[in-house]
Chain A
Amino acid sequence: MALLEVSDLHVSFPTPDGVVQAVRGLSFAAEAGKTLGIVGESGSGKSVATQTIMGLTRGARVSGQAMFEDKDLLAMDQKALRSVRGDEVGMIFQDPLSSLHPYYRVGWQIVEMIRNNHKDISKAKAKARAVELLGLVGIPQPDRRVDDFPHQFSGGMRQRAMIAMAMSLNPKLLIADEPTTALDVTVQAQVLQVMRRLQEEFGTAIILITHDLGVVAEVADDVVVMYAGSAMEKADRYEIFGASHHPYTEGLLQSLPAYGGVRERLHPIPGQPPSLINLPGGCPFHPRCPYVMDRCRIEEPPLFEVGGNPTHTSACWLTLDLVERTALRDKVVGGQLPSPSRP
C-alpha cells in the first residue's frame, strides 16, 4: 500500500476575476523508499496540490481525499495537521533564503522544529541532533556552523540546512518543491546526492516537484506530468522519457535543446498555457496540440492505460503511440497531421 494516496483532488480559488481552478481531479500515490516526480510548467498546479495536502493553502475550495497511512489529511483540522507536518511529513521549498528566518541561528531553527513537535526532548539533546543533521547533509564543521545565521551560509548550504530541518524528525514523507531550482548545477548535484543518500538510509518517500526534466530523469522513480491542473500522463521514468504517449509530454521533451544533438531548430509547443479561470472545453491541451481531433474539443479524456501497462496512463483520446504518430506525421507534407478544423 502506498504511503500517501491522493485521489480526485480538486482545488480552486475564488478571485474577483473568477474561480481559478488550480487542481482538477488529480490522483497520485507516493511509496516508501521511492521518489515521485511531479513535473509541469508554471501554473500547472503542481505546488498547489502538495501544499493543499499539507493544509497550506488558505481560502481554497478543496475536495477529494489524501490518505496518509490511514488518515485523510484533507479532513483533518489545522491542529492535527500541525503534528503531521514536520513529524511525519517534511517539506523543502524552492527558496532557502526566504524559508529560513534571518534573525535566528540556523541551529536554533532546527532545534525549534524538533522541540515544537517533541516537547520532552531537552534543548541540549535537540542541539546535538541539529549538529548531527547538519553533518549528515554535508555541512563542514557542523558543530561550529550550527551557530551561524542563515546569511553566513551559501545558497547550497542553506538548502542543505532546509533538508536537515525537514529530515530532523525522520519524516516518512519528504515533499521537495523545486528544491534545486535556485541553485547552480554543481550545487544542485550536491543537493540531489544528499537527498538520494538520505532516502537510501531512511527509506523516506519523496515527492519531488520540479519543472526540470533533467532532474526528474535523474532522481524520480515514477513521474506525473501535469498540465492545467490535471495529470496528463503517469508512468515510470523510463516510460516517460523513452515511450511517452501524451502529446504534451512529447512537446515538453521536444522543446529541450538536445544535449549532444545537432544544432537544429527547437520544436516549441506553440501558443501559451491556458488561463485557469477560463479553461478551454474538452482536453485542456487541445488548443496547442498538433494532433487535435474534434472529440478533444468537447470531451475531456480520462487517464487511459497505454500499451496494456497498468502503471502507464495517459489522458489522451489518441490511440496511436508515439512511434506510429511520428511515422504518420512524417508521411504528411509539412509535418502536420491533416486535422479537419485547424487552419
Chain B
Amino acid sequence: MTESGIPSASGAASDGDVLVRVEGLKKFFPVQSTSAFRRSHEQVHAVDGVDLEVFRGETLGVVGETGCGKSTLARCIARLLDLSEGQVDFDGRDITNLSARQMRPLRREMQIIFQDPYGSLNPRRRVGSIIGDPFALHGIADGADRKKRVQEVMELVGLKPEHFNRFPAEFSGGQRQRIGVARALALKPKLIICDEPVSALDVSIQAQIINLLADLQSEFNLTYIFIAHDLSVVRHVSDRVAVMYLGKIVELAPVEDVYQAPRHPYSNALLSAVPMPDPNQKVDSHQIILSGDVPSPISPPSGCRFHPRCPKAQPKCSVDDPALVPVLGDPPGHVTACHFPVETGEVMQSRPGVIAGEGAQAT
C-alpha cells in the first residue's frame, strides 16, 4: 500500500495535520455457539484491516450498507471498543492500549453524536443535567458556573437556555438531536464522531441539523467522522469519503472524486441505487442493481470481498485481495481496492455476479 512512499489514503496534506491515524485496524466479535458441545471458533469480522487518516478540520464521510463495519470502526477509533489488532493514534499519541482510566482525559477531545435522539438521552434526567454531565465528569465547572456554561452551549446549538430544566420528552426529535450535539460539544472536543446523526429526522429538520454541524465546524475547527447511509447527505457534508464493504474500505477519495468518478464497482452500484428527487431521471438506465445480499461477515468471501456480487468480477478477484492504491492514474489521494476499476465514462451493467472472461464492458 505504501509502495511509492505515499502514505495510504492521504492527500497532499502534511503529517502534522493528521488528527487520527488508524493502521491495520481489525475488530472481531466472537460468535456464540449454538451447540453446548462444540466450542465456537467463529468470529464476525466486523472490521478487517482498515488504514485511515483523518485530517484536522476535515469531515470524513463513511458510507456503506448495514453491517459493513462503519459504526464499529468509529467505536474503535473512540476506543469504546477494544481493538482486536492494529493501532489507533489520536493527536499524535498511540491510544490503542490505554486503559479506561488513561482514556478519560482524552474523552474530552473526542465525542460521539448518536443516531437515535430518543434512545441516547436518559428520559428521567433534565436536559441541563444531561448536557452538564461532561463538565461534571471532568470536574470542570460546578454549580452556577456549570449552569452558565451549559446554557451557553444550549444557545450555541439553537436550544432555548430557559429550557434547562425540561425533560427530553418535552422536546421534538430535531431538538433532541440538538441536545445530543450540545452534549458532544460541551467540552470543545477536537473530534466528533457523528454516527448517523440525521437518519432519524425528517428532511426539513435534517437540514437544520446539517447546517448546525457545519456552522459549529467552521466556528471551532472541529473534525468530523460522519457516518451515514444517506449518500446525498454524506456528499453534502464531507471533504473526503470512505466507502466500506464487509469490514474493509474499498474506496477513499475527495468527495467529488467518489461521486463523479467512482472507481470501485461497489461504489458505482451504491451510488446508482440512490433514488433521485428528479422524475426525469430514467430509472433503469442508470441503476446497477446488485444481485443477492451482502455475504456473511463470519466467513467473508476469498479474494476481493465484493467478487460474488460484482458485475466485473474475473477469476483473479476470487483469489487476490486487491490493495487500496491509486488506480487508473488517480492522484494519490484517491485510492481504490479493485483489480478492474471502472474507467471514467464506462457504463456498468446490472449483471449477476458470474465470473466471466469478459466482465461488463462499456456499451
- B227-283 with Cβ < 8 A to chain A: 229, 231-233, 235-237, 259, 269-270, 272-281, 283
Contact for A188 among B206, B273, B276, CB less than 8 A = B273
Cα A199 to Cα B274 in complex, Å, equals 21
In the complex, whether A257 has a CB less than 8 A from a CB of chain B is yes
Contact for B229 among A184, A213, A237, CB less than 8 A = A184
B292 touches A257 (CB 8 A): no
Residue of B nearest to A253 (CB): B277
Minimum C-beta distance from B283 to chain A (A): 5
A211 touches B202 (CB 8 A): yes
Task: Encode contact with A along B279-302: 1 for CB under 8 Å, 0 otherwise.
Answer: 111010001011011100000000
Minimum C-beta distance from A243 to chain B (A): 12
A272 touches B203 (CB 8 A): no
* Centre residue among A184, A251, A267, A270 by max chain B CB count within 10 A: A184
Contacts A214-B274, A241-B278 given; indicate if A189 touches B236 (C-beta within 8 A).
Answer: no
How many residue pairs between the two chains, A and B, have CB atoms under 8 Å in the bound complex?
A: 125
Contacts A157-B293, A252-B204 given; indicate if A186 touches B269 (C-beta within 8 A).
Answer: yes
Chain A residues whose C-beta falls within 8 Å of the C-beta of B270 in the assembled complex: 185-186
In the complex, whether B326 has a CB less than 8 A from a CB of chain A is no
Task: Encode contact with B along A211-230: 1 for CB under 8 Å, 0 otherwise.
Answer: 11111111100000000000
In the complex, whether B165 has a CB less than 8 A from a CB of chain A is no
Chain A residues whose C-beta falls within 8 Å of the C-beta of B211 in the assembled complex: 265-266, 268
Minimum C-beta distance from A182 to chain B (A): 9
In the complex, whether B80 has a CB less than 8 A from a CB of chain A is no
Task: Encode contact with B along A310-338: 1 for CB under 8 Å, 0 otherwise.
Answer: 00000000000000000000000000000
Residue of B nearest to A192 (CB): B275
Task: Encode contact with B along A243-269: 1 for CB under 8 Å, 0 otherwise.
Answer: 000000001111111111001011111
In the complex, whether B98 has a CB less than 8 A from a CB of chain A is no
In the complex, whether A238 has a CB less than 8 A from a CB of chain B is yes
In the complex, whether B318 has a CB less than 8 A from a CB of chain A is no
Cα A154 to Cα B292 in complex, Å, equals 10
Chain A residues whose C-beta falls within 8 Å of the C-beta of B172 in the assembled complex: 272-273
Minimum C-beta distance from A258 to chain B (A): 8
Cα A213 to Cα B294 in complex, Å, equals 26
Cα A155 to Cα B66 in complex, Å, equals 10
B203 touches A185 (CB 8 A): no
Chain B residues whose C-beta falls within 8 Å of the C-beta of A254 in the assembled complex: 207
In the complex, whether A150 has a CB less than 8 A from a CB of chain B is no
In the complex, whether A140 has a CB less than 8 A from a CB of chain B is yes
In the complex, whether B319 has a CB less than 8 A from a CB of chain A is no
Chain B residues whose C-beta falls within 8 Å of the C-beta of A214 in the assembled complex: 232, 274-277
Chain B residues whose C-beta falls within 8 Å of the C-beta of A189 in the assembled complex: 272-273, 275, 287, 289-290
B289 touches A190 (CB 8 A): yes
- A39-91 with Cβ < 8 A to chain B: 41-42
Contacts A41-B202, A238-B279 given; indicate if A267 touches B207 (C-beta within 8 A).
Answer: yes
Cα A342 to Cα B71 in complex, Å, equals 44
A257 touches B210 (CB 8 A): yes
Contacts A215-B275, A217-B275, A259-B232 given; indicate if A190 touches B203 (C-beta within 8 A).
Answer: no
* Centre residue among A256, A257, A273 by max chain B CB count within 10 A: A257
In the complex, whether A287 has a CB less than 8 A from a CB of chain B is no
Task: Show 13 A/B contacts (Cβ-Cβ < 8 Å), sorted by A.
Answer: A41-B202, A41-B203, A186-B290, A187-B65, A189-B273, A193-B289, A214-B275, A218-B281, A252-B204, A256-B207, A257-B233, A258-B232, A273-B202
Instruction: Give the total of A residues in contact with B, Cβ under 8 Å.
Output: 48
Cα A187 to Cα B66 in complex, Å, equals 10
Instruction: Give the total of B residues in contact with A, Cβ under 8 Å.
Output: 43
Contacts A217-B279, A251-B204, A257-B210 given; indicate if A272 touches B293 (C-beta within 8 A).
Answer: no
A42 touches B275 (CB 8 A): no
Residue of B nearest to A268 (CB): B207
B204 touches A237 (CB 8 A): no
A265 touches B277 (CB 8 A): no
- B190-205 with Cβ < 8 A to chain A: 202-205
B174 touches A272 (CB 8 A): yes
A186 touches B235 (CB 8 A): no
Cα A219 to Cα B275 in complex, Å, equals 9
In the complex, whether B208 has a CB less than 8 A from a CB of chain A is yes
B203 touches A255 (CB 8 A): yes
In the complex, whether B308 has a CB less than 8 A from a CB of chain A is no
Task: Encode contact with A along B181-225: 1 for CB under 8 Å, 0 otherwise.
Answer: 000000000000000000000111111101100100000000000
B269 touches A42 (CB 8 A): no
In the complex, whether A171 has a CB less than 8 A from a CB of chain B is no
Contacts A252-B204, A255-B207, A256-B203 given; indicate if A184 touches B65 (C-beta within 8 A).
Answer: yes
In the complex, whether A156 has a CB less than 8 A from a CB of chain B is yes
In the complex, whether B173 has a CB less than 8 A from a CB of chain A is yes
Which 3 pairs between the two chains have the least Cβ-Cβ distance?
A214-B275, A268-B207, A257-B236
A256 touches B229 (CB 8 A): no
Cα A218 to Cα B205 in complex, Å, equals 23
Residue of A nearest to B271 (CB): A185
Contact for B293 among A42, A156, A212, A218, CB less than 8 A = A156
Cα A266 to Cα B205 in complex, Å, equals 11
Contacts A265-B211, A266-B207, A268-B211 given; indicate if A237 touches B275 (C-beta within 8 A).
Answer: no
A257 touches B232 (CB 8 A): yes
Task: Encode contact with A along B53-89: 1 for CB under 8 Å, 0 otherwise.
Answer: 0000000000001100000000000000000000000
Residue of B nearest to A140 (CB): B292
A185 touches B273 (CB 8 A): yes
Contact for A252 among B203, B208, B259, CB less than 8 A = B203
Cα A260 to Cα B231 in complex, Å, equals 11
Minimum C-beta distance from B272 to chain A (A): 8
Cα A139 to Cα B103 in complex, Å, equals 47
Beyond known contacts A186-B289, A257-B207: 19 more, CB 8 A cutoff: A184-B229, A186-B269, A187-B293, A188-B275, A193-B289, A212-B275, A214-B275, A214-B276, A217-B276, A217-B279, A218-B276, A237-B279, A255-B204, A256-B203, A265-B211, A265-B214, A269-B204, A272-B205, A273-B202
B229 touches A257 (CB 8 A): no
Residue of B nearest to A153 (CB): B293
Cα A256 to Cα B275 in complex, Å, equals 12
Residue of A nearest to B229 (CB): A184
